[in-house]
Chains A and B, each alone.
Chain A
Amino acid sequence: MSFSIKKEGEVVVVDVEGQLIVGNRQELKQKVLDELERGEKKFLIDFSQTGYIDSSGLGVLVSLSKKIREQGGELRLANLNDDLKTLFELTKLDTLFQIADTRERALQSF
């Protein structure tokens, strides 16, 4: 479980490897908030290597999305696997996030 952060153009891209759960959500939150503090505005979280997100992980995504929006920024999600896609649809979280099928499409959408 780890997060790698890199910059692609103007967009801060975060890769989530493994799971986003109660044990590591604070780490993700802090990393993104640090970038936001530095003045970054565009964020993309890529879940292509993520198998599972628990409810506290979802909570952190919502809280990050709010904080980024407050600073005039944008958050996009990409590459949710089928299970995660179903989870987002069933809980209507898909109405709160802009979700793209691929990283390229997400980057183009900013």
Chain B
Amino acid sequence: MNDLVHVLTAFHDATHCDAGVWTQPSTGDGPPSLDAATANAPMPSRFPALSEGEVHVQSPAGTVVIAGVPGPRRAWLALGPCPERDVELQSFMAFLLPVVTQYLQSALEVEHAANELAERYEEINLLYTISEILGRTVALDEATKTILSEVSETVGARRASVLVHDRTTNTLKAVAALGVDLATVPSINVDDPCSVSARVFRTQHPMLAEPDQMICPEEAGYRRGAMLSVPIMWTAPAPRGAEPLGVVNLSDRRSGQPFTAGDQKLIAAIATQIGTAIQNTRLVRASVEQQRLAHEMQLAHDLQMKLLPNNAIVAPHATVAARVVPAESVGGDFYNLFRLGHGKTGVMIGDVSGHGYQAALIMALAMSAAAIHSQATGDPGEMLHALMSTLREELAVTEMFISAFYAAIDPANNELRYSNTGHPHAFLLAEGKDFERLAASDPPIGMDERRPATARRDWRAGADLLVLFTDGVSDARNRAGERLGEERVLDEIRKHRDATPAVILERVFEVLDAHITTTTRRDDLTIVLLRT
């Protein structure tokens, strides 16, 4: 009011008359108080209504003229008394009243603008606070609870709730509540015809439920009278677009004032923030789960590689070169080697149908069971039959099966005995002869109940080569999608037939690598070469 004092002082300097401006307090009906005045302005004895115009009142120091100031605020301008007589107080009033009116009007506008600005600051502050809350926490429940109390504080709501959509039950579940115990807030079916929250979720539009509107029992906990209900939206990348994730409800306003369009806008902005938080939490959860799975797969892969035998365990009776290259982190190919006593060696190659964790578990089971059964019986067909019995349950439940080849080689008796259940690529490269396929006599383990047959071939130590590989090798594709083919593998081995198994293995993998180059491997690659 300093400026107004300057105006009145200037008036006093010019006229030597005192002047004062009085205003009614904005709240209540108390007596008018002095806003600004010159040194000796007296308190008027009465304050006339605006319609009365100017009123002359007498004070001990002389006449005072007082008039109401037009405008939204009740105010009065009092002029006088003046030391000189015959002063035209009316003409002074006619001059000064518009000035004071204009001044008070401007002051009121400034005050409104300041209040408005303060509110905006409060809202901006709220948005910053929410960003901070969301930035430092991934625990959604905790974040929504904090956000809800901040928002309620700003808009002056004593009751509030945040409901989030649960896709599995198609209900809205309360994750935060104010003015009511969260545990007692029931879930609301999305199709509920009565619930305001359910309707806002379905229509994806905010809604102001009037105080006289019926309150559904599910919402009674966090609603008193009018309730502002705003959908929590999240905008997914095209073509999915915006989708509703939940609802924010605010009710029971401290001021008793209705919610405004400004409140609705503010809550919509905050709901978007909560939506992003919900989505982030879901993504973080999914990513943690994926990391856990990847970790488990890595463990399974390590386990699988550890289970593969050390090729030296059959030395010096047999020289073996072997390699398994899994397609994914965990594959279904495996091989195993056994010392059978009296200089005999057992060798097995297998392919569990399918990939991944389950295939790796079946493979581990097959590896360990085969180790036991190979010691228990000298007959390869009986060994695979025993393996079949061990794995029957597991294979039936998982609908998997195992193609397997098992041979027991007895160099002292020049004999190789084998059994083949569905394994396509097993060959004997005997000295002076070409490859002979040691064909399957029975379907893969898990497909049939019959006892697999055992066959016999002559075996010459130091000369004959046993060649086993899985279909991942012959089916390996190049960039044009062409298979490598069984014949290319056999050709390469034929070329180097007099080399050691280790050298032959290197040559075959060179051919394989040249064929595959950077193409993604679709299947495991396993090759086992054995000479005694």
Contacts and interface: CB of A to CB of B under 8 A. Distances in A.
Interface in B398-456: 399-401, 403, 421-425, 439-444, 447-448
Contact of B440 (A55, A58, A92): A92
A91 B399 contact: no
Identify the interface centre among A56, A59, A91, A96: most chain B CB within 10 Å of its CB: A91
B354 A95 contact: no
Interface string A26-64: 000000000000000000000000000001101110110
A96 B447 contact: yes
A96 B421 CA distance: 13
B101 interface: no
A59 B442 contact: no
A1 interface: no
B424 A91 contact: yes
A58 to B, nearest CB: 7
Contact of A62 (B354, B401, B440, B441): B401
A93 B447 contact: yes
B354 A90 contact: no
B195 interface: no
B442 A95 contact: yes
A31 to B, nearest CB: 16
A58 B352 CA distance: 12
Contact of A55 (B351, B425, B448): B351
A96 B448 CA distance: 8
Contacts of B440: 90-92
Identify the interface centre among B421, B423, B440, B447: most chain A CB within 10 Å of its CB: B447
A55 B444 CA distance: 11
Contacts of B423: 91
B447 A55 contact: no
Contacts of B390: none
Contacts of A59: 353-354, 399-401
A33 to B, nearest CB: 13
Contacts of B353: 55-56, 58-59
Contacts of B422: 90-93
A63 to B, nearest CB: 5
Contacts of A56: 353-354
Nearest to A95: B443
B403 A91 contact: yes
A95 B442 CA distance: 8
Contact of B443 (A55, A63, A96): A96
B443 A91 contact: yes
B399 A90 contact: no
A28 to B, nearest CB: 13
A59 B352 CA distance: 11
Nearest to A25: B399
A30 to B, nearest CB: 13
Identify the interface centre among A62, A92, A95, A96: most chain B CB within 10 Å of its CB: A92
A55 B351 CA distance: 10
A60 B399 contact: yes
Contacts of B424: 87, 90-91
B480 to A, nearest CB: 15
Interface in B133-168: none
Contacts of B439: 90
Interface in B272-327: none
Contacts of B351: 55
Please give me the 10 A-B residue pairs with the lowest Cβ-Cβ distance, nearest first. Answer: A55-B353, A90-B424, A91-B422, A92-B440, A92-B443, A62-B447, A59-B353, A59-B399, A63-B399, A96-B443
